[in-house]
Chain A
Amino acid sequence: SQQGEEDPQALSIQEGENATMNCSYKTSINNLQWYRQNSGRGLVHLILIRSNEREKHSGRLRVTLDTSKKSSSLLITASRAADTASYFCATDAKYGNKLVFGAGTILRVKS
């Protein structure tokens, strides 16, 4: 079963707007990662946040982690048409060795 579940399933915004995607998970984790997948391509790593971190930034990306709520969010600021893609969170079970992906959020940025 999937460890992480993204919300919403799909999101459509205008270029320049911010996009927020959420990920909830069930068991304790060591790390949480976010990936992007463009249509017909493999996944590309965006950012990794550890369980003892609360927030991380990378360019226009901001990731937060709330371990008490077992949730994470990915914020893309000033979105561009090129941000159109599926976004996945991936988590490990705290005592496991596997990275398990959620179902993903499909983001469409309209120009």
Chain B
Amino acid sequence: DAGVIQSPRHEVTEMGQEVTLRCKPISGHNSLFWYRQTMMRGLELLIYFNNNVPIDDSGMPEDRFSAKMPNASFSTLKIQPSEPRDSAVYFCASSLKVQATNEKLFFGSGTQLSVL
């Protein structure tokens, strides 16, 4: 298996632009997570899906952030409009079973986002 695949690997954009990050989880995995990593705040859980359904989006910082999972093999995280403080590494992770806390997470390589 190729693991969790994220694209793009790097994204540089200007403030106000729309940014879309993409994730393909491991085939057969039933939970998908979006995390954001910064030096100041560490790893923050933004949102997670079970069986393609958003379960908890309380970590999404603002209405500018939205996430979708139209099918079991694809998810997007969109920021519109982007701001410099959104600069971070965004990770997607998946786990086999729905009850993720007793399952290990498989992380993608992340998207390094820079908003100028």
- The reply to whether chain A is a binding partner of chain B is yes
3 A-B pairs closest in CB distance: A42-B107, A92-B101, A45-B104
Contact residue among A2, A44, A103 (Cβ-Cβ distance under 8 Å from B107): A44
Most buried by B among A33, A43, A48, A50: A43
Question: How far, in Å, is B112 (CB) from chain A's closest CB?
Answer: 8
Q: Is the CB of B45 within 8 A of A98?
A: yes
User: Roughly how many angstroms separate A44 CA and B108 CA in the complex, as a whole number?
Assistant: 9
Question: How far, in Å, is B18 (CB) from chain A's closest CB?
Answer: 24
The B-contacting residues of A in range 75-98, CB under 8 angstroms, are 88, 92, 96-98
Contacts of A44 in B (CB 8 A): 107
Question: How far, in Å, is A88 (CB) from chain B's closest CB?
Answer: 7
Who on chain A is nearest to B100 by CB?
Answer: A99
Q: Is the CB of B56 within 8 A of A99?
A: no
In this complex, the interface size class of chain B, counting residues with CB under 8 Å from chain A, is 20 to 34
Contact residue among B42, B104, B108 (Cβ-Cβ distance under 8 Å from A42): B108
Who on chain B is nearest to A45 by CB?
Answer: B104
User: Roughly how many angstroms separate A69 CA and B46 CA in the complex, as a whole number?
Assistant: 29
Q: Is the CB of A103 within 8 A of B42?
A: yes
Contact residue among A42, A48, A98, A103 (Cβ-Cβ distance under 8 Å from B48): A98
Question: How far, in Å, is B41 (CB) from chain A's closest CB?
Answer: 9
User: Roughly how many angstroms separate A99 CA and B105 CA in the complex, as a whole number?
Assistant: 9
Q: Is the CB of A104 within 8 A of B107?
A: no
Contacts of B91 in A (CB 8 A): 42-43
If A31-B101, A43-B107 are given as contacts, then 12 extra A-B residue pairs at C-beta distance below 8 Å, sorted by A number, are: A30-B101, A33-B104, A44-B107, A48-B102, A48-B104, A50-B102, A96-B101, A97-B101, A98-B48, A99-B100, A101-B35, A102-B42
Question: How far, in Å, is A26 (CB) from chain B's closest CB?
Answer: 15
5 inter-chain pairs at a CB distance below 8 angstroms, sorted by A residue, are A42-B93, A42-B107, A42-B109, A43-B105, A44-B107
Q: Is the CB of B56 within 8 A of A97?
A: yes
Question: How far, in Å, is A28 (CB) from chain B's closest CB?
Answer: 12
Would you call B106 an interface residue if the criterion is a C-beta within 8 Å of the partner chain's C-beta atoms? yes
Contacts of B108 in A (CB 8 A): 42
Q: Is the CB of B55 within 8 A of A97?
A: yes
